[in-house]
Amino acid sequence: MSGLRLMAVHAHPDDESSKGAATMARYSAEGHEVLVVTLTGGERGDILNPAMDVPGIRERMSEVRQEEMAEAARILGVRQQWLGFVDSGLPEGDPKPPLPEGCFAAIPLDEPVRRLVQSVREFRPHVMTTYDENGGYPHPDHIRCHEVSVAAYEAAADPDFHPELGEPWAVSKLYYSHGFIRKRLELFREEYERRGEPFPMEQWLNKWRTEQGDIMGRVTTQITCGDYFPKRDDALRAHATQIDPNGSFFAVPLDIQQKVWPTEEFELAKTRVSTELPETDLFAGIEDGQGK
């Protein structure tokens, strides 16, 4: 063991497998400790895989999602912890309906921050990953996940913040994970054009509004992890209620992904150590065993 620890904070079960999963699998395989903290139980998730929309699944959604999460964590080689908040669901309509009473995105910020601070002080990660201020996409739980993670990053190091939650711990670095990158899809399309084959995500790419820009401009850190894409995909498929094995996640074959774009992308949001950008390692600037 190197003594280095990574905590990935996510809103729902399945988020860990679609955002930075290959990076986690790589670090775990290299002997680092990796903990996924899942803020909600994903109780309000829709069944997005037609094969799982069968009697008995929806009625026990909470239990099913726990089983799926356990299998995904096993595949990735990571530990996982539930913080126990209730999924807010994704409000739809114009105007959008109010959030359900008592859900994660509707309760005061203090309680989830306290619980995450306790997890940070117990696990003592050198690096945390979470979502940016837009949540990666504007799901209320993802935006709240960002708010809670940033607040906990600061509060965990403050000896005056709820000292009963454990000894203060200063996380060295906080990253935002970035997965929706237009340039990645454009390079995939170029590879298909070289092969003389139709690009299976052409319609998806054409819907991308160019005025949104490309998040790649914010990326500071790229982790080479193409060898772990198969584990990422297996972990995704483990979330069988949420992930359609015939869906867009798997439209581009692994050999093309590994050749054209074998990295996952992150943005260094906060750091307490010196590092040089761009980076190729989330632990850059942190000595082995630092802060044990």
Convert the pLDDT of each residue in 82-123 to its tens digit.
999 999 998 888 888 899 999 999 999 999 999 999 999 999
Residue 291 has pLDDT above 60, yes or no: no
**10 found inside a domain:** yes
User: Per the annotation, does 94 bind a ligand?
Assistant: no
**224 found inside a domain:** yes
CATH for 81: 3.40.50.10320
Q: How much is the average pLDDT of 251-256?
A: 96
**140 found inside a domain:** yes
Lowest mean pLDDT among 33-42, 254-263, 282-291: 282-291
Q: Are 111 and 147 in contact (CB under 8 A)?
A: no
Spatial CA neighbour of 123 closest among 17, 33, 26, 38: 33
pLDDT at 288: 54
Q: Please tell me which residue, 292 or 77, carries the higher pLDDT value.
A: 77
pLDDT at 55: 85
- Cα separation, 5 vs 113, in Å, equals 20
Quote the domain boundaries for residue 240: 3-179+218-248+263-269
Residues in the chain: 292
**99 found inside a domain:** yes
pLDDT at 1: 44
**113 found inside a domain:** yes
pLDDT at 289: 47
pLDDT at 213: 65
Residue 262 has pLDDT above 70, yes or no: yes
Neighbours of 88 (CB within 10 A): 25
Residue 20 has pLDDT above 80, yes or no: yes
Sign of CA dihedral 265, 263, 4, 231: positive
- Tally of domains in the chain: 1
**18 found inside a domain:** yes
Residue 211 has pLDDT above 70, yes or no: no
**193 found inside a domain:** no
130-189 per-position pLDDT tens digit: 999 999 888 999 999 999 999 999 999 999 999 999 999 999 999 999 998 999 999 999
Q: How much is the average pLDDT of 60-69?
A: 93
User: Per the annotation, does 15 bind a ligand?
Assistant: yes
Neighbours of 125 (CB within 10 A): 27
Burial of 137 (0-12, 13-18, 19+ CB in 10 A): exposed
User: Per the annotation, does 10 bind a ligand?
Assistant: no
**66 found inside a domain:** yes
Residue 19 has pLDDT above 70, yes or no: yes
Burial of 217 (0-12, 13-18, 19+ CB in 10 A): exposed
Beta-carbon contacts of residue 83 (< 8 Å; ≥ 6 apart)? 37, 38, 39, 40, 112, 115, 116, 119
